[in-house]
C-alpha cells in the first residue's frame, strides 16, 4: 500500500505544485496563465518576469522530479521486498511528471514536463541526464528556441542512456523505456510549438509574445 499507492500519490501531489504560477503571483502579482503562452512552466515564467523567474521556476520544477525519486526510493527501500529499485524510482518519477503535467491544484492544466523530467532523469541516470542537458544548451544557444532545445534534449536522453549504460537493455530496461516514454510525452506536449516552428512564428528567447 505504501510503496505502490501512497508514495506515488505523494510524488504526484509534489509534482502538482505550480511553482511558476506561485513565483509570478507572489513576487510580481501576475497570473502567469494570462500572459505569454499561458503555460505555468519556466519558459513562460521567464517571458513574464525575466531570467530570475525562469531560473527559479526551472530549479523548483527540477527539484520536484529529483526529490520525488530520491525521497520515494529512500522511503520504499526497506519495504520493497525484492522489487527492482529502478522500477520503483521510475514509478515515483512518473508520479511527479504526471503531477507537473496534469496538476490537481490548477484544474489539471500544467507544464510541458521538461524541468521535472530532467530532475527525475538526474536521479535515475545522472551522466546521461547531463548529456541531454548539454544538448539542450547547444540547441538553445545556436537556435534560440526553448521548445526545440527541450525536444532535442528529451530525444537525446534515451539515446545517451543506451550508449552509456551497459545494462540499458537488461537490468535497467525500465529506465530506458521510461526515458523513451517521457521523450514522447515531452514532444507531444510541444505539438503547438512544432506547428509554430514549421510556420516560422515560434518565440525565440527574449521575446514576450
Q: Is residue 75 part of a domain?
A: yes
In angstroms, rounded to a whole number, what is the distance separating the alpha carbons of residues 44 and 209? Answer: 10
Can you list the alpha helix ranges (DSSP code H) found in the chain? 7-15, 19-23, 42-49, 51-76, 85-101, 114-124, 126-143, 146-164, 173-189, 191-199
pLDDT of residue 203: 86
Structure-block grid coordinates of residue 108: 489539471
Q: Is residue 208 part of a domain?
A: no
Rounded to two decimals, the pTM is: 0.93
pLDDT of residue 79: 82
Residue linked to cell 520515494 = 72
Q: Is residue 62 part of a domain?
A: yes
Computed over its alpha carbons, how large is the radius of gyration of the chain? 17
Domain count, the chain: 1
pLDDT of residue 208: 53
Reported as half-sphere exposure (CB side, CA atoms, 13 A), residue 17 has a value of 19
pLDDT of residue 83: 83
CA 31 to chain CA centroid, Å, is: 21
Q: Is residue 106 part of a domain?
A: yes
Q: Is residue 156 part of a domain?
A: yes
Q: Which domain holds residue 80?
A: 2-199
pLDDT of residue 36: 84
**pLDDT tens profile 47-104:** 889 999 999 999 999 999 999 999 999 999 888 777 889 999 999 999 999 999 999 9
Q: Is residue 66 part of a domain?
A: yes
pLDDT of residue 78: 80
Long-range Cβ contacts of 136-140 (<8 Å, 24+ apart): 140/205
Count of other CB atoms within 10 angstroms of residue 38? 11
pLDDT of residue 64: 97
pLDDT of residue 133: 96
Segments in the chain below pLDDT 70: 206-209
Q: Is residue 207 part of a domain?
A: no
In angstroms, rounded to a whole number, what is the distance separating the alpha carbons of residues 201 and 185? Answer: 23
Q: Is residue 176 part of a domain?
A: yes
Amino acid at each position: 500500500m505504501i510503496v505502490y499507492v501512497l508514495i506515488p500519490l505523494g510524488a504526484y501531489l509534489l509534482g502538482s505544485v505550480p511553482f511558476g504560477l506561485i513565483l509570478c503571483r507572489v513576487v510580481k502579482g501576475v497570473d502567469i496563465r494570462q500572459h505569454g503562452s499561458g503555460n505555468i512552466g519556466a519558459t513562460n515564467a521567464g517571458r513574464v518576469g525575466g531570467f530570475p523567474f525562469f531560473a527559479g521556476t526551472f530549479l523548483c520544477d527540477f527539484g520536484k522530479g529529483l526529490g520525488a525519486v530520491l525521497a520515494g526510493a529512500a522511503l520504499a527501500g526497506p519495504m520493497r521486498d525484492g522489487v527492482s529499485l529502478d522500477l520503483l524510482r521510475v514509478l515515483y518519477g512518473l508520479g511527479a511528471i504526471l503531477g507537473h503535467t496534469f496538476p490537481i491544484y490548477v484544474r489539471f492544466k500544467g507544464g510541458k514536463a521538461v524541468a521535472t523530467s530532467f530532475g527525475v532523469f538526474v536521479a535515475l541516470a545522472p551522466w546521461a541526464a547531463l548529456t541531454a542537458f548539454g544538448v539542450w544548451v547547444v540547441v538553445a544557444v545556436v537556435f534560440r528556441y526553448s521548445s526545440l532545445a527541450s525536444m532535442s534534449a528529451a530525444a537525446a536522453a534515451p539515446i545517451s542512456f543506451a550508449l552509456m549504460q551497459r545494462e540499458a537493455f537488461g537490468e535497467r530496461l525500465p529506465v530506458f523505456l521510461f526515458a523513451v516514454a517521457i521523450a514522447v510525452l515531452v514532444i507531444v506536449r510541444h505539438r503547438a510549438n512544432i506547428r509554430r516552428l514549421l510556420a516560422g512564428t515560434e518565440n525565440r528567447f527574449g521575446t514576450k509574445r
